[in-house]
């Protein structure tokens, strides 16, 4: 364990966090894919298509956690409404998938989704036009959540709303959207949402190959988002964002338009969340107003807190671990999960304020000090010797 910690620390301090993350994700994706395709179902090492779909869902959650870590960990903006951007991206993808059903629905109407026929709608609403085209749907995946984040962020940050007040506003935003999407007259399926999808871009969604392809695409997108976010945070822009987090008044005094930086980062974070939602829907097969629930947004914050905010890789690890725990415990004691989640957040806040990533950093520093006498990591990195 000590040797592993030293290797991990050297890779991170050497600026290879990106390479290490991409390599681990690549190996995990390749191994899972090959085990699914090549090994027989009777093999103990076979990865079922159900597991592949579950892993794809976890990777979508990891991307969503990364989106929150970008805005919370590096700029100090605690958003309790990122579930709204995730759900909007999911609804945009769901609308496209519903249009692909055509006359294969229960009522056989080639133009109207089943829920519209059931509600006696005569024509397709104007905001559904163009959603039968994949490229247009992908534009809407980014445009709608991005525009909402731009307007909300501009109004909030220009008014210098910060702290708990901003968190409450973001939570109110997602709650208002949840109430709106529950209404049948909104044209998004009401309480039942959008489901019964058949295909995506001409590929059968029930086919094993399509499930595997979606898993691989999700892994690639997660790697791309992680790399781009790391590069941004290591740039001059990232240093400005961290300075705003640590002392916004000082950054403003130095001449930076802090509201502009915060709006830009808020939109960037919202786009990541929306992309995660778009990849999530075809893999789970449904999107409903429950995804707007404020509880979901709070759960995302728990993921980031458990993994360690301000690290990006910590958010990914936290999302996967907590989501796996939720899968296991909700099948055993479903009514107790929300209490376990709250207890976990309290435990992390008190005993692991920097999350698992902080614990790993502390372990590495301890091992490095033990192996170099009184020398420190900083001395070692500076090329000095212990005294």
Answer with the residue of higher pLDDT: 268 or 103. Answer: 268
pLDDT for 220 beyond 70: yes
Distance, CA of 110 to CA of 104 (rounded, Å): 8
Task: Note the pLDDT tens digit of each residue in 293-314.
Answer: 998 999 999 999 999 999 999 9
Work out the average pLDDT over 364-373: 58
For residue 332, give both structure tokens. Answer: 């055993």
**Model pLDDT, residue 333:** 81
pLDDT for 374 beyond 50: no
Lowest mean pLDDT among 14-23, 154-163, 295-304, 345-354: 14-23
Answer with the residue of higher pLDDT: 378 or 342. Answer: 342
pLDDT for 362 beyond 90: no
**Model pLDDT, residue 303:** 94
SS3 state of residue 125: coil
pLDDT for 380 beyond 50: no
The answer to whether the CB of 105 falls within 8 A of the CB of 97 is no
Strand-strand pairing, 203-204 and 199-200: antiparallel
The answer to whether the CB of 81 falls within 8 A of the CB of 72 is no
What letter would DSSP give residue 244? Answer: H
* Pure H helices in 159-207: 163-181
The helix (H) or strand (E) run that includes residue 138 is helix 134-158
pLDDT for 2 beyond 70: no
Task: Note the pLDDT tens digit of each residue in 37-61.
Answer: 999 988 889 999 999 999 999 999 9
Sign of CA dihedral 149, 57, 225, 199: negative
Please tell me the chain's helix, strand, coil percentages from 3-state DSSP, rounded to the nearest 5: 75, 0, 25
Distance, CA of 280 to CA of 265 (rounded, Å): 23
SS3 state of residue 286: strand
Mean pLDDT of the chain: 88
Work out the average pLDDT over 279-303: 94
- Among 95, 52, 72, CA closest to 284: 52
Task: Note the pLDDT tens digit of each residue in 95-126.
Answer: 999 999 988 988 888 889 999 999 999 999 99
């Amino acid at each position: 364990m000590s040797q592993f910690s030293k290797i991990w620390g050297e890779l991170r301090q050497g600026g290879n966090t990106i390479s290490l993350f991409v390599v681990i994700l690549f190996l995990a994706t390749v191994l899972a894919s090959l085990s699914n395709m090549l090994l027989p179902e009777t093999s103990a090492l076979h990865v079922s298509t159900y597991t592949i779909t579950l892993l794809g869902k976890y990777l979508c959650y990891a991307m969503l956690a990364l989106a929150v870590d970008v805005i919370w960990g590096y700029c100090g903006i605690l958003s309790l409404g990122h579930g709204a951007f995730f759900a909007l991206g999911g609804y945009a993808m769901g609308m496209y998938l519903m249009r692909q059903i055509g006359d294969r629905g229960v009522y056989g109407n080639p133009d109207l989704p089943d829920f519209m026929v059931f509600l006696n709608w005569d024509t397709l609403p104007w905001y559904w036009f163009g959603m039968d085209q994949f490229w247009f749907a992908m534009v809407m995946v980014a445009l709608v959540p991005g525009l909402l984040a731009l307007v909300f962020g501009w109004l909030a940050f220009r008014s210098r709303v910060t702290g708990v007040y901003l968190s409450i506003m973001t939570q109110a935003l997602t709650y208002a959207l949840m109430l709106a999407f529950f209404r049948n007259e909104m044209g998004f399926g009401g309480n039942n949402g959008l489901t019964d999808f058949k295909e995506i871009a001409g590929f059968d969604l029930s086919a094993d190959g399509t499930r595997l392809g979606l898993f691989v695409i999700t892994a690639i997108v997660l790697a791309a988002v992680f790399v781009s976010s790391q590069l941004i945070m290591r740039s001059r822009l990232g240093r400005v964002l961290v300075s705003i987090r640590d002392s916004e008044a000082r950054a403003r005094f130095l001449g930076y338009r802090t509201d502009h930086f915060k709006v830009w980062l808020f939109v960037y974070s919202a786009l990541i969340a929306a992309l995660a939602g778009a990849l999530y829907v075809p893999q789970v097969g449904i999107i409903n107003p429950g995804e707007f629930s404020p509880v979901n947004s709070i759960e995302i914050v728990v993921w980031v807190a458990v993994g360690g905010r301000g690290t990006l890789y910590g958010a990914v690890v936290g999302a996967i671990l907590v989501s796996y725990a939720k899968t296991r415990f909700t099948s055993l004691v479903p009514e107790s999960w929300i209490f376990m989640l709250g207890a976990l957040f309290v435990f992390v806040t008190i005993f692991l304020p920097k999350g698992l990533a902080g614990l790993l950093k502390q372990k590495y520093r301890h091992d490095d000090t033990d192996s170099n006498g009184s020398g420190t990591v900083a001395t070692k990195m500076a090329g000095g010797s212990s005294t």
